Structure 1
Amino acid sequence: MSRLPRRLRPWFRRLPVVARLVLAVAVTMSLVLAGAAGLVYWRVQTALDRQLNDDLTTYQRSLDQAVRDGVQPPPGPSGSLQQVLDARGRVLVSSAALRDRPLLSVAELGATAHGATVRRDVGSLLPITSDTLRLQARRVTVGGQGRIVIAAVRRGHRDEALRELLAQLALASGLTLIAASYVGYRTARAALRPVERYRAGAAGLADGAQNLRLDVPADRDDEITRLGHTLNHMLDRLEASAERERRFVADASHELRTPLTLMRAELDVALHRPRSADELAETLRSVDTEVQRLIDLSDALLDLEELGTTQHISRASAGLAGLLAAAVAPHLRTAGLEGRAVTVEAPGTEVDVDTRWLRPAIGNLLDNALRHATGDVRLTAAVHEGRLRLCVTDEGTGFPPEFLPRAFDRFARAEASRTGRGSGLGLAFVQAVAAAHGGTAHAENTGHGARVVLDLPC
């Protein structure tokens, strides 16, 4: 159908899929049937013409010999006719059915007089005409004078056979085309019926249906079935995504409400009665803390949104040791005030990563370890077969077992730390950075603390 005229293509594309398939089948079958019918007709016509020409040639020879010998022409095949003309085209001898009817044109007479053999048909196959003939004319010399001998045979039986063949081919082709179109229609409808069910299911989902899944046969493995499984998988992902979004909105509302409520309470207390300058300063410091908490939360959400919508991160070659040193430096003072150490073990090699995102991700891991654990913190890095493995290990009590499966969810925090500092977005940011690099992040307990591992292609 790509060969359709340009003006017909919009009309064809507007047709339903079933109609387009049936039309394609019908057009293709029409071409095939027309070709097959044409081949059959040509073979039969060739055989009939060969037989007719053989009879005509044999009869012509006998007529030529009879004219040369000056004897009565012998009888020819059934329905044969004859005519003998002089050099000027006057009829000397003619079958009774022909009488003096001229069979040759002036040009044909001239060609025959110069020695050419003329063969042609009189009358046509369609529409039906009477006295259809095939004639052959040749020049014969008799007693030094030229004669034109015309042999003719009737084509009635031959034409009737061809007309009957045309009618049978047309009937057979028409019935075959109808049957093929019907089978194509039924096949297309049956093949697209699951697609219509899937469309109805998608329409139900658009109308707000919950927990919708498509009915996919379990005993098949064709393209439509695989489409159904893919759509069901997509619905699973959409439902999980919607659930995460609902949980995100609920958690974000809670996280935003808490500092706003505290600020409102502080301001209400400050405005309830006159306060000293020291008390007002303390109130402002408390409000400033909550404002900073809101800013940190907004920045974290914006970073996560940017990571989620960025198609490609900007990788560049960077020294691994320098990258880790830059990530650790802001946390050394905090660790020193608490009497803790942060150690780094890294090879002096180059890695191909986006330092803009990886450095704060490492910083989040160090901040979590310093905030929620005890003892020293160890950051190790190793490069093997094109992959960078970063581990941050602490000496605390580790993650609660029930918290590990959701440690990287947004706003996920262990119950013991929900009242502490932090928004619960640190590990979610770490996982987003790992995913943006095409890697993974996971957390585990070591028996002597917790370990968070980043595995990235570099």
Structure 2
Amino acid sequence: MTLAGAGGPRAWFRRLPVVTRLVLAVAVTMSLVLTGTAGLVYWRVQTALDRQLHDDLAAYQQSLDRALRARTALPPGPSGSLYQVLDVHGRVLGAGDAVGRRALLTDAELDAAARGHAVRRDVGSLLPITPDTLRLQAERVTAGGAPRIVVAAVRRGHRDEALRELLAQLALASGLTLIAASYVGYRTARAALRPVERYRTAAATLADGGQNLRLDVPADRDDEITRLGHTLNRMLDRLEASAVRERRFVADASHELRTPLSLLRAEVDVALHRPRPAEELTETLRSVDAEVQRLIDLSNALLDLEELGSADHITRAPVRLTDLVDTAVAAQVRTAERAGRALTVDAADTTVDVDARWLVPALGNLVDNALRHGHGTVRLTAAVHEARLRLCVTDEGPGFPPEFLPRAFDRFARAEASRTSEGSGLGLAFVQAVATAHGGTAHAENARHGTAVTLDLPC
């Protein structure tokens, strides 16, 4: 078997272009339909013509039988009709001028007619055209006490000519209909697949490095092609968002990791420049350890943000709101005690459907920020109203600078007063990412006596 023939006709058909396959499918289907329709029309017309021909032949046969029994002259039949009278041995006893003594019956037909069976037969064919096409009928008749075989025949010329004309017209009509249907199928397939070709061209442009590419999907209809276009556009949105996150992650990492790495290099270079006392080396190692921890915290924060941004969905599960809040502030209670600060919690005793894996560290970040940058009592309130969870952390500090509020949740954004303090500027960005992943919002504002950061989430 050759490679071209591998798989058979079905595999060959599947390798054809879609438009070609559609046109072939339309052509084959229309051929079957037209063939069936033409066959039905031909059968109905042929049946009607044969019935008329049979009626004429039967009437002629009966008139011959009556005349023979009455011993009168045999009557003329329909135009072009023939007759022949035979004895049981096949001898011609009488015949019309057009047929003479030519044998119309075969030996087997003669024998069957002599035994009393009716014999019917067509002489000549419809296609190819033959002369003297007849339909004959032979019966045994008793006349004057002697058996006779009467053969009556009528010409089929008009019937055959009508059927040939019908075949020609059906073939012409079917051929023209098949050509028209194939053309319409081709144009329809091309028109239906034209948007797909545009989508393919656009995808090729994207593969070649195109940016901000979106498919032009008509808004005035809803069919399989437009739904495909909308799906591809959503996929392009996801791809672009993923690319933006990737570029942002690389930019953030390179920007923020440069400083601690430079400090580490500087500390090590100074320590290696000349022999140092043990006290100075210990101090250098403490500084290096602090910078390494800062790198770890920063890397973890960046990875958490990237995971939140790239996840398709969060995993919600029922959890007691009081347990959630207690877990979130557990690590901050000692910090507040060491700083001589009060930390109060007011949580409703209810169950919420959230992802505690992300919400607990988000609340911990808010409380930690309030303890490090605020003053006075830190309050965490948690309440549920109309299927929405509202979490609010407030302090009694000076609040955010007004110009900083619009970008408080941006990555690495830090107010001027906090730039010399610990922190990477990713805490509030992480909080907003958690709120967005839950389908909620995060909001920061300066209250009358300090700062308030609020999370509003569906639960």
TM-score class normalised by the smaller sequence: 0.7 to 0.9
Match of 2:35 in 1: 34
Match of 1:374 in 2: 375
Distance 1:236 1:357, change over 3 A: closer
Deviation at 1:214, TM superposition (A): 4.4
Match of 1:444 in 2: 444
Distance 1:403 1:247, change over 3 A: farther
Q: What SS is found at the alignment partner of 1:65?
A: helix
Q: What SS is found at the alignment partner of 1:253?
A: helix
- What are the within-5 Å matches in structure 2 for residues 326-337 of structure 1? 326-337=327-338
Match of 1:157 in 2: 158
Structure 2 letter corresponding to 1:43: R
Match of 2:3 in 1: none
Count of aligned pairs between the two proteins: 450
Distance 1:204 1:310, change over 3 A: closer
Q: Which moved more, 1:199-208 or 1:285-294?
A: 199-208
Q: Which moved more, 1:267-276 or 1:302-311?
A: 302-311
Q: What SS is found at the alignment partner of 2:362?
A: helix
Which deviations, in whole Å up to 9, do the C-alpha atoms of 1:94-122 show, x marking residues without a partner? 33444444444555455545544333322
Q: Distance in 2 between matches of 1:246 and 1:434?
A: 22
Which deviations, in whole Å up to 9, do the C-alpha atoms of 1:136-182 show, x marking residues without a partner? 23332323443332221111221111112111211122122222222
Structure 2 letter corresponding to 1:439: G
Q: Which moved more, 1:195-204 or 1:62-71?
A: 195-204
8 Å CA contact 1:404–1:443 kept in 2: the answer is no
Deviation at 1:422, TM superposition (A): 2.5
Distance 1:195 1:430, change over 3 A: same
8 Å CA contact 2:245–2:309 kept in 1: the answer is no
Distance 1:311 1:200, change over 3 A: closer
User: Where in structure 1 are there 5+ consecutive unaligned residues?
Assistant: 1-5
Q: Distance in 1 between matches of 2:415 and 2:97?
A: 121
Deviation at 1:360, TM superposition (A): 2.3
Match of 2:202 in 1: 201
Which deviations, in whole Å up to 9, do the C-alpha atoms of 1:339-371 show, x marking residues without a partner? 332222223333444433332232223223333
Q: What SS is found at the alignment partner of 2:375?
A: coil
Match of 1:3 in 2: none
Distance 1:36 1:417, change over 3 A: farther
8 Å CA contact 1:140–1:148 kept in 2: the answer is yes
8 Å CA contact 1:365–1:452 kept in 2: the answer is no
Match of 1:9 in 2: 10
> What's the Cα RMSD here?
3.2
Q: What SS is found at the alignment partner of 2:209?
A: coil
- What are the within-5 Å matches in structure 2 for residues 135-146 of structure 1? 135-146=136-147
Q: Distance in 1 between matches of 2:115 and 2:409?
A: 105
Q: Distance in 2 between matches of 1:322 and 1:315?
A: 15
Structure 2 letter corresponding to 1:451: V
Q: Which moved more, 1:142-151 or 1:208-217?
A: 208-217
Distance 1:315 1:204, change over 3 A: closer
Q: Which moved more, 1:231-240 or 1:438-447?
A: 231-240
Distance 1:384 1:118, change over 3 A: farther
Q: What SS is found at the alignment partner of 1:92?
A: strand
Structure 2 letter corresponding to 1:143: G
User: Where in structure 2 are there 5+ consecutive unaligned residues?
Assistant: 1-6
Distance 1:117 1:398, change over 3 A: farther
- What are the within-5 Å matches in structure 2 for residues 102-181 of structure 1? 102-105=103-106, 108-109=109-110, 111-113=112-114, 115-181=116-182
Structure 2 letter corresponding to 1:165: L
Distance 1:377 1:30, change over 3 A: farther
Q: Distance in 2 between matches of 1:109 and 1:400?
A: 124
Q: What SS is found at the alignment partner of 2:122?
A: strand
Q: Distance in 1 between matches of 2:82 and 2:91?
A: 17
Deviation at 1:439, TM superposition (A): 3.1
Distance 1:304 1:210, change over 3 A: closer
Which deviations, in whole Å up to 9, do the C-alpha atoms of 1:182-211 show, x marking residues without a partner? 232233323333332332222122112334
- What are the within-5 Å matches in structure 2 for residues 177-192 of structure 1? 177-192=178-193
Structure 1 letter corresponding to 2:84: Q
Under a length normalisation based on structure 1, what TM-score does the superposition of the two structures give?
A: 0.85
Match of 1:259 in 2: 260
Distance 1:418 1:251, change over 3 A: farther
Q: What SS is found at the alignment partner of 1:279?
A: helix
- What are the within-5 Å matches in structure 2 for residues 36-115 of structure 1? 36-105=37-106, 108-109=109-110, 111-113=112-114, 115=116
8 Å CA contact 1:133–1:153 kept in 2: the answer is yes
Under a length normalisation based on structure 2, what TM-score does the superposition of the two structures give?
A: 0.85
Deviation at 1:396, TM superposition (A): 4.3
Deviation at 1:416, TM superposition (A): 5.1
